Homo-oligomer: A and B are copies of this chain.
Amino acid sequence: MNEPLKHPINISASGISASGGDDFLNYPDDQALRRMCENEHPADLAAAFAELELEKAVAVFSSITSECCADVLVHMDYDSQREIAARLPDDVLARAIARMSADDRVDLIQSMPDERGESLLHLLAKKEREDIRKLSAYEEDTAGALMTSEYATLSPYLTARQAIDKLRLEAPDKETIYHAYVIDSERRLIGQISLRALIMARPNTLVEDIMRRDPIRVNVHDDQEAVARLMARYDLLAMPVTNGNDALVGIITFDDVHDVIEEEATEDFHRMGSISAGSGPEDLVDIGLRDAGPWLLIRKRLPWLLALVFMNIFSGAGIAYYEETIQGTVALVFFLPLLIGSGGNAGAQSATLMVRALAIGDVMMKDWFRLVGKEVAIALCIGVCMGIAVSLIGIFRGGPDVAFIVALAMVCVVLFGSLLGMSLPFLLTRFNMDPATASAPLVTSIADIGGVVIYFGIATWYLGLATVV
């Protein structure tokens, strides 16, 4: 987390921008660069620097202060950051890394080839080196990987005045001093206190008398999405992270929550579009579509497309099975795309609603039974409306028999698709898979198979009846 007020700017009045800053940045002088670092927000500088040619960007990074260099690097997108870090001299980079917050520098070092990372570690102070090694050990997407070790702690026996003095002294090295954590002699988390409470308290009050005992905490191994949801639910500015012995090992700050919520939503989006999910910093979600290479995208897209092709063979087989019916009444083929399409679309809607509701915790596994009844009512109602609409076309294209067949098939197909779409996400959750794997294309493909069988099944049955009569 960057202390947000370090470089506030009025955005519209900002002199620098991704497109407009090139000329100046191509011929920078040291004084102008220093002024720029002082006046612009690192996020804006990062966007501007990313547009420069690599060599010029490296030259600029080498001429600015270590602090500015650190702030800007942290705000760059993953690819630009890696490219520039690879070309910066070891000493420049090491000084910048020393100025980064603990969680940011771990991310940067982990993105480098192992030897480079090691040689950089040797340029850092022992304390920093050990801190990085410790934070690097946590698995990706866990609270441990997200947390920073720069939190403020207090002893329960300090007075409010002493506590404020301690926080004031430590402020430059901490991510936040607005929440401090009260620990015992074995670093166990026993309480939490806000700077607001400390300031409002009488100066001689003991911390232990005003702290909140037993604060909400998460374990280092907890999933980052669960942590983000918890922080959003309780509106927390920072969340303490403890290890198996309940000892405080880090905190997660509110700005990390935005990133996690957005990242997880993007992952679900991709899954819903039948794009394979993955993890690791090299993955699509982190790199972004703009910078992703063609091979990465092919690897993400091809597997599901091939799987769905083989699924669609069953639709083809269904059509082949009913060849006689089709040849008897060729007008039926006209309605095929329309009917199986409607089943797929209704299914995609239900799946979308359910996947998102499960993801944000609006719906739980136990709600399935209650929701099935509602879904049937809704699907029947929608199916009847669509059946009426399609039967009007049916009368014109094939007479009353075809109209009746397509109307009845429509109701059944929409019902089938909707129930499939709403149930599949639950079923996947039941088997510990991500509900978003019930992508629109997967639901559509299964609904297609059902649609073919239902449509031609009804047609064969009804036309058979007609022949008998």
Contact = CB atoms under 8 A, between A and B. Distances in A.
A414 B308 CA distance: 13
Contacts of A261: 258, 261-262, 265
Nearest to A255: B235
Interface in A135-181: 164, 167-168, 171-172, 177-179
B348 A274 contact: yes
Interface string A304-319: 1110110011011101
Nearest to A75: B233
Interface string A1-35: 11111111111010000000000000000000000
Interface string A100-141: 000000000000000000000000000000000000000000
Interface stretch (A57-65, A91-99, A196-204, A459-467): A196-204
Interface stretch (A48-56, A81-89, A334-342): A334-342
Give the oligomeric copy count: 2
A345 interface: yes
A8 B191 CA distance: 9
B216 A346 contact: no
A290 B357 contact: yes
Contact of A352 (B195, B273, B360, B377): B273
Given A352-B270, A386-B306, A390-B309, A441 B316 contact: no
A168 B345 contact: no
Nearest to A288: B362
A294 B378 contact: yes
Contacts of A41: 216, 234
A199 B168 contact: yes
B312 A199 contact: no
A382 B298 contact: yes
Contact of A298 (B232, B341, B378): B378
A216 B13 CA distance: 10
A273 B345 CA distance: 8
A340 B309 CA distance: 10
A10 B218 CA distance: 9
Nearest to A263: B360
Given A196-B177, A441-B440, A270 B353 contact: yes
B341 A315 contact: yes
B275 A308 contact: no
A441 B289 CA distance: 22
A306 B385 contact: yes
Contacts of A444: 341, 344-345, 440-441, 444
A381 interface: yes
A363 B171 contact: no
Nearest to A289: B357
Nearest to A357: B289
Interface in A275-333: 275, 288-290, 294, 297-298, 301-302, 304-306, 308-309, 312-313, 315-317, 319-320, 323, 326, 330, 333
Contacts of A348: 273-274, 440-441
Interface string A239-267: 00000000000000011011101100110
Give me the 7 closest cross-chain CB pairs, A-B, nearest first. A273-B352, A315-B337, A440-B440, A312-B338, A289-B357, A235-B255, A8-B215
19 contacts: A5-B212, A8-B214, A8-B216, A41-B216, A43-B234, A231-B258, A232-B255, A232-B258, A261-B261, A265-B265, A269-B352, A269-B355, A272-B440, A275-B352, A294-B381, A301-B382, A302-B382, A313-B338, A345-B445
